[in-house]
Structure 1
Amino acid sequence: MAYNLTVLDPFEFEELVCDIFTKKFDELIESFKVGADQGIDLRHICADKNATTIFQCKRYDENGFYELKRSAKKEKEKIDLLAPEKYVLVTSIPLSPKNKKELLDILKPWCKSESDILGKNEINTLLSTYPSVLKKHFKLWISSTTILESILHSHTFNYTDNEIESFIEDLPKMVIHEGFYRCKDIVENHNHVLISGDPGIGKTTVAKLLMLDFMSAGYEVAFVGTNIDEAWSLLHKTKEENTKLAIVYDDFLGRTDFNENKLTKNEDRRILDLIKKCEKSSNTKLILTTREYIFEDAKRQHGALHDNEREFEKYAIKLDDYTKKNKAQILFNHLYFSKLPESKLVKFVESKIYNILIYHKNFNPRIIATFCNSKTAKQYTDDEYIEYIKKAFSNPVAIWEKPFHDDISETAKIILLILLSLDGQSHFDELRSLTSKTIKRPTSLEFETEFLNSLKQLEGNFTKTQRIKSETESTYLVRFSNPSIEDFLINLSRKNPSYIRDIVDSIQFFSQITHLIPILVTKEPPNNYKSDLIEELLKKTISLEGSFRKRPIASFNRNSLFWYTEGISVFSVIAAALILREAIHKRIPEELLEKMTKTEFWNEEIKKSAMPGNVTSQLGALVGYIAESNFYDDYEKHLFEKSLRKSILTDEHIDSFAMGLDDVINLEYVLTKIGKTLSYDEMDFLLRFTEMRILPDLVGGHDLDELEHALNAVEDSFLRSSVIEDEISIRLAELEDVRERMSKYTSSHGSGEEADKEGKIDLDSMFSGLKEAVNQIV
């Protein structure tokens, strides 16, 4: 198996060599603190012969032989002073026999033969001999050709090959810290993990590393972006195929602050149900991420999350989790693997600003990634660049203020705001079309030129563009280059809502409305200007209601480009209008309110909406808002719920709301938020539906975990003491007779045992290595 040694930084490469030879000799290999080494990286003293072997580790890019040769000549002077019994040179470069001979001629007599000079091929052979070493070097393992091939041929939902390849390309910059291994242990032992922490601290990076790990083990990966129903739908689809599924729900409570629109009125329960299901399943993993302060806010507002906090196997990534060495490596790696000009790297080292950054209270990998962007750096002289870095750490969000206000055109600003309304990404034709609704020019050619020039201004700094293609078609995906850009635009728009007004004309999709609502509707009462803007957004919603285009989204599935449309139901549209109306204290018109109490209205709307496969969460949002609203009296609420029940609990419509047992239980929960209990006939309908449509598939399977989860769910629901409970129990007993429950796999790893000690790092010597590496960096 071939491993890509260039994903390791110089210090990781040295640790790898130390681990290999410790295993090979079965004796201690001495390593020394990061810094000036006087020609010694590692040392081995043979107990029997009292002979000393010195190891020198040289990490270069694969075409860096001439730099290695030049370095060997400099090292020879140090070796002559040390006069070791034996000297071994280990490098990441693949070496030919000719290369080895040239190096041996330089390093004689200390290198006794060419066997004392090891290149990439020899290291790969040793790794195959000592595979346990790889447990400590996750980046190296995941970059192997075999693992990468299995990853790139695996099945992903809502995530493109380009995105996976882009993440793998960024592997060298990453530092695998103790937090990753803890999260890995949690999810392997409990099948789910909640990763929380401050913005930019590395939550999504850890989630994506876990994603690669599971993909390499044969899991299909699903990225959930809207609500938990997406995850449930995928579970139902993959259940019949006995597929191993890993679900990643990034920022499941929202990206900037907690809002009721992100966690719908029954999604808290759905998430808890999914966690319980994953705990019982041997084939399903769940990875949730959220910002810590959002999670705390959500617990205060949602009793279900507070009362069931222990259900979450939570790991919080904090700044304290990064040791001094971790932070130094994060900073070093971003610089070492960047495309920054030589002069800026030299200035960075000479200024010794790293001493400030590593100890700074705002230390954050995302900020570091931002100022290591070569396009950003070009805007500044070398001295200005150092000041820019200081300001970036003092006020992280403000780093986008100058480029946004001073360096891009008005059209470029509109493009960014439209991207904000599209959840941070759009395909090229869609973005061009929406921009043309706002930016009016005399001719199409004039607009096209201005649009393309604006995209060029943004590319590499504010946005990144990826080509997505299949055998028959292709498109370009435009997205924010950094999540902090979205934070900046949201804060900017909340302070100055006129930026949102500038893009109201571009709104063509309902999802744009839902992404703009939490920006405008906050806990703070709106002033007159914002109230007018909210009313304008409400008018837009009403004017497009019934004619909203479902937004087509380009994605990959089994490496084939395909298009799918967002699932929009009448419940989402009415709930959005309700939120906007309540924000400006505007009651629903009596005519619409009267319609909402009529079964005929819901029958017609459900038919017109071409309902997506499962809309229970969207229904729950609407019912929840009306249940808690002060705008409607109890009688009006009762009529509303009664008409909904009559429409949904029919053979014609029930399939849109219930695809599995959990859906039936959740639907009963949603439909009793106002009236509290179902009538006898309504209960009987759900029981008959479950017995005839859900139960046969459930008990006909062989999934013990699935049946155990189903039995637990039934025991806590209205289905208890029914034929359903009896049949599940009988089937469970049959399966338990023929096989034992599978024990959960518990992985072991070699991380953390050798945790670095705070005193053993010389920052000045470490970063002076950047000067030596400048030639290969640029």
Structure 2
Amino acid sequence: MYNLHLLGWRSFQDLCNCITREILGQTALSYLPSNDQGRDGSFTGKWITQKNEVFEGEFVIQCKFTSKQNKNFTFSDFSYEIEKVKELVKQEICDIYIIMTNAGISAKSAAKVKSELEKLGVKHSLVFGNEYISQQIKENTKLRRMVPRVYGLGDLSQIIDERVYRQAQVFLESLKDELAKVVITKSYHKAVEALEEYNFVLIVGEPAAGKTTIATLLAMGALDQWQAATLKLHRAEDVVKHWNPDEPNQLFWIDDAFGATHYESPLVYSWNSVMPQIVTMISRGAKIIMTSRDYIYNAAKKDLKSNVFPLLNESQVVVDVHDLSIEEKRQMLYNHIKLGKQSKTFRKEIKPFLESVAQNKRFIPETARRLSDPYFTSKLHLTNYWIDDFVERQEGFLIDVISDLDKDSKAALALIYMNNSNLLSPISLSQLENESLSRMGSSLNKCIEALNAMSGSMVHVQIEDDQHIWKYKHPTIGDAFARYLVKNTELLEIYIKGSDTDKLLDQITCGNVKLQGATIIPQNLFPSVLNKLTDYTKTKKFKTESWAIYFAKWGLVSFLSRRCSPNFLKMYVKQFPAIYEDISQPDLSKNVPREIELAVIFVKNGLLPEKNRLLITKQIAKYALTGENLDFLESEEIQSLFHDNELLELKDRIKNELLVLPLSEMTKLWKSKYRENNEDAEYHMYSLKSNLSLLQEYYPDVPDLETLIEDEIENIDDWIVNNTIPEEINESKTPMKDEKVHESDQETRSIFEDIDS
């Protein structure tokens, strides 16, 4: 059985409408409570039951909700509807009357109601109680996916297939207290449709908009409905590594795909490098869910090859908190406060203010969670002014909370931050981390006590890859802690000295380079960062030594090109002049590497020696003359590395050396690099077709070039067809339908009426 009494009257009515659609096969017209005239829903049509009973005509649905557990339905609960039923029968809009209730129904009570309805002229009547509704939820996977709150209202092991129960437990670990409070929004329905249609969905939205919640519900639905082998991973290469071509039902979930609180370019580089395999995986039935904060995705777009992988745009669901309906906001508030940790006294005192909270333009889903937790409201004065301040000053409020914490709690939050919001449990500290805790006046034991005290409010433990990990309860807490760090120079220096260098390079900017979400290091602390970089030659992200060296160098170049002000770069090249040699032989076989970006920045700031500039332009010319990389033709930034005469000379050499050869030579080069079983043919040839288009655009005066290029592209398209594996035919999919609501009615019954009961 399910704890349906926790739903609230509005959510129970929505559940009944979903049952009507899924079980009865009808889309009901819903009525708001002010003028429902005895109908919570209605439809006209035919319903054939599992027992082959046929009901046809005008259907009326009446929902009877009770917030009392184990309550039984009696005739008195229905008696005040009698006059309304008489009027409906008189209007000839009530042939079949259906009562749905979460209360228990006895045979005696059902018989009495049916007898009374028959006397009133109703042709047929049906009474569905808690047991019937619970059974429909248990038997219908699609119904559960449409109303995923039910996963949190019953015994999960009795709801879903035993084979996926253990996986489900892992996903629900982060939502076990929140799932019963979930509100299904239009964004969720769009995400379901995108995943079904494209096998891929990218969920984009501002912090605290509910992206991870939607992704969790999608993963649960995939586990339940398709028994999909579901993996929550962190990096693009992990997705490819875990893909099994012989297992069509696989779902991969990557939260914060391009960075947790700020843009991390190495993550995008990884996605670009494995995109051919990703395209192949999706074409063969694998499903992928990705999430990203909106400002991070906007920063990543310039580096992502989204034009090669159009699903990044076609299957993108933007979760915009400004698009939340007032009903959705009310339901979020109701669910969290009704089922949260607040006392009955608090719920009663805040009740008069809840409608204005829902109406506030700065309301976000996280607002409801914090209002439901005494940890965040212990100093909140329940007046209009202070409640509005609580809603509108989200990050500032959190910074105030952090400022008021004791030193051990601050040290515990700092420890999570120094570990990129992923602190392994049991906790094992490095020497630097131990020294940092000591300087903050804390210790490991005291931090553990503080973490346990803050668990469920500021932090929580999550299980990932069979490991227990301490995380912030919500990423916005990490954002606020970063702002708190910036305001506390002494603590900021402790953070720099105590952090792992890999993690530090992913979190900071040296100077303000306008990278949203990053921790800004002021100029007086630049020497501390330079000291950290002195011995940075290997990354800990890879165990293989060659990879560890390569990606340390790549990560450092990315950091310098994207996260450092000119003042820091001047200090860096003076202390580490070897960087010039590191960027002078870039590999341009796939795309424009970070070395080129850094070289451009050095040139703009007068920091690139002439001999290194010449080496770099020679490398650009080498790849341009084979046709492998022609980006310089359209990139003013790359052109800034050349003197005017050098640029003209290179363009002439392409005309006189590359374009005198058959274009098929370029195609042959691309074909030689094709990996048949691991790469999508169309994706592989995209860069070649782009380069041919560039040549056509920039060399219009070459005789017959346009015709030759068009013929070669036609040959390339034929090759793509011959090397493309036919897509499997997917099952037919039923699109989700929006509930129809009678718009003329205005809601007068408050959803908050029983919030203090």
TM-score by length of 2: 0.70
Local SS of the residue matching 1:491: helix
What letter matches 1:360 in structure 2? N
> Aligned match of 1:123 in 133, 136, 140?
133
Separation in 2, partners of 1:394, 1:690: 55
Task: Give the number of aligned pairs.
Answer: 681
Match of 1:658 in 2: none
Aligned partners of 1:22 and 1:28 also within 8 Å: yes
Identity of aligned residues (%): 14
Q: Report which stretch shifted further, 577-586 or 196-205.
A: 577-586
Match of 2:366 in 1: 366
Separation in 2, partners of 1:278, 1:168: 34
Separation in 1, partners of 2:630, 2:285: 23
Local SS of the residue matching 1:593: coil
Match of 2:499 in 1: 507
Separation in 1, partners of 2:671, 2:580: 31
Cα deviation, 1:389-435, whole Å, max 9, x if unaligned, reads 332212111221332122x2123213223322322221134465565
Aligned partners of 2:204 and 2:294 also within 8 Å: yes
Aligned partners of 2:486 and 2:520 also within 8 Å: no
Separation in 2, partners of 1:598, 1:523: 25
Separation in 1, partners of 2:282, 2:538: 43
Indicate yes or no: 2:601 matched with 1:621: no
Indicate yes or no: 2:550 matched with 1:530: no
Structure 2 unpaired stretches of 5+: 47-54, 90-95, 119-124, 623-627, 658-665, 696-707
Q: Deviation of residue 324 (structure 1)? A: 2.2
Local SS of the residue matching 2:340: coil
Q: Report which stretch shifted further, 724-733 or 203-212.
A: 724-733
Aligned partners of 1:414 and 1:503 also within 8 Å: no
Within-5 A mapping of 1:164-313:
164-167=172-175, 169-215=177-223, 216-221=225-230, 223=232, 225=234, 230-232=235-237, 234-235=239-240, 238=243, 241=246, 245-252=250-257, 254=259, 262-263=264-265, 267=269, 270=272, 277=279, 281-293=283-295, 295=297, 312-313=313-314
Change (3 A) 1:153 1:123: same
Within-5 A mapping of 1:139-158:
139-140=149-150, 147=160, 149=162, 151-152=164-165
> Aligned match of 1:100 in 106, 116, 119?
106
Local SS of the residue matching 1:586: helix
Separation in 1, partners of 2:142, 2:463: 38
Cα deviation, 1:721-774, whole Å, max 9, x if unaligned, reads 9xx9999989866677xx86445666333431525748542253x211223xx3
Q: Deviation of residue 209 (structure 1)? A: 3.0
Aligned partners of 1:39 and 1:56 also within 8 Å: no
> Aligned match of 2:406 in 406, 409, 412?
409
> Aligned match of 1:481 in 456, 473, 494?
473
Aligned partners of 1:521 and 1:583 also within 8 Å: no
Separation in 2, partners of 1:185, 1:103: 41
Indicate yes or no: 2:602 matched with 1:593: no
Separation in 1, partners of 2:519, 2:65: 62
Indicate yes or no: 2:562 matched with 1:570: no
Q: Report which stretch shifted further, 328-337 or 79-88.
A: 79-88
Separation in 1, partners of 2:303, 2:42: 58
Local SS of the residue matching 1:367: helix
Local SS of the residue matching 1:477: strand
Cα deviation, 1:97-155, whole Å, max 9, x if unaligned, reads xx83696799897599xx9764443225556898886675455589885656565456x
Separation in 1, partners of 2:667, 2:294: 41
Change (3 A) 1:241 1:18: closer
Change (3 A) 1:15 1:271: farther
Match of 2:454 in 1: 458
Separation in 2, partners of 1:45, 1:213: 31
Local SS of the residue matching 1:353: helix
Aligned partners of 1:188 and 1:747 also within 8 Å: yes
Within-5 A mapping of 1:612-691:
620-630=593-603, 631-639=607-615
Within-5 A mapping of 1:304-383:
312-313=313-314, 314-349=316-351, 352-377=352-377, 379-380=378-379
Change (3 A) 1:207 1:23: closer
Q: Deviation of residue 361 (structure 1)? A: 1.1
Match of 2:484 in 1: 492
Match of 1:16 in 2: 15
Local SS of the residue matching 1:487: helix
Match of 1:57 in 2: 64
What letter matches 2:681 in structure 1? L
Cα deviation, 1:539-568, whole Å, max 9, x if unaligned, reads 1221x424765599xxxxxxxxxxxx9995
Separation in 1, partners of 2:519, 2:541: 32
Aligned partners of 1:550 and 1:567 also within 8 Å: no
Change (3 A) 1:17 1:476: closer
TM-score by length of 1: 0.68
Match of 1:606 in 2: none
Aligned partners of 1:340 and 1:374 also within 8 Å: yes
Q: Deviation of residue 353 (structure 1)? A: 1.2
Change (3 A) 1:263 1:234: same
What letter matches 1:593 in structure 2? P
Match of 1:706 in 2: 680
Separation in 2, partners of 1:272, 1:174: 34
Aligned partners of 2:496 and 2:529 also within 8 Å: yes
Local SS of the residue matching 1:196: strand
Q: Deviation of residue 709 (structure 1)? A: 3.5
Local SS of the residue matching 1:584: helix
Cα deviation, 1:240-267, whole Å, max 9, x if unaligned, reads 546555454544555556x5xx236984
Aligned partners of 2:402 and 2:481 also within 8 Å: no
Separation in 1, partners of 2:550, 2:503: 10
Q: Deviation of residue 586 (structure 1)? A: 2.2
What letter matches 2:423 in structure 1? S
Higher relative contact order (CA 8 A, sep 6+): 1
Aligned partners of 2:585 and 2:616 also within 8 Å: no
Local SS of the residue matching 1:769: coil
Q: Report which stretch shifted further, 496-505 or 357-366.
A: 496-505
Separation in 2, partners of 1:529, 1:763: 53
Cα deviation, 1:160-194, whole Å, max 9, x if unaligned, reads 95343433653322222222222333344344444
Q: Deviation of residue 341 (structure 1)? A: 1.0
Separation in 1, partners of 2:303, 2:542: 31
Local SS of the residue matching 1:629: helix
Separation in 2, partners of 1:185, 1:44: 25
Change (3 A) 1:52 1:665: closer
Q: Deviation of residue 195 (structure 1)? A: 3.3
Aligned partners of 1:223 and 1:249 also within 8 Å: yes
Q: CA RMSD in A?
A: 5.9
Cα deviation, 1:239-297, whole Å, max 9, x if unaligned, reads 6546555454544555556x5xx236984992895699379724344544444455556
What letter matches 1:395 in structure 2? R
Aligned partners of 2:363 and 2:391 also within 8 Å: yes
Aligned partners of 2:28 and 2:42 also within 8 Å: yes
Change (3 A) 1:596 1:31: closer
Q: Deviation of residue 362 (structure 1)? A: 0.6
Aligned partners of 1:33 and 1:760 also within 8 Å: yes
Q: Deviation of residue 4 (structure 1)? A: 7.7
Change (3 A) 1:664 1:573: same
Separation in 1, partners of 2:192, 2:140: 22
Match of 2:121 in 1: none
Change (3 A) 1:92 1:386: farther
Separation in 2, partners of 1:528, 1:280: 39
What letter matches 2:684 in structure 1? A
Change (3 A) 1:169 1:291: same
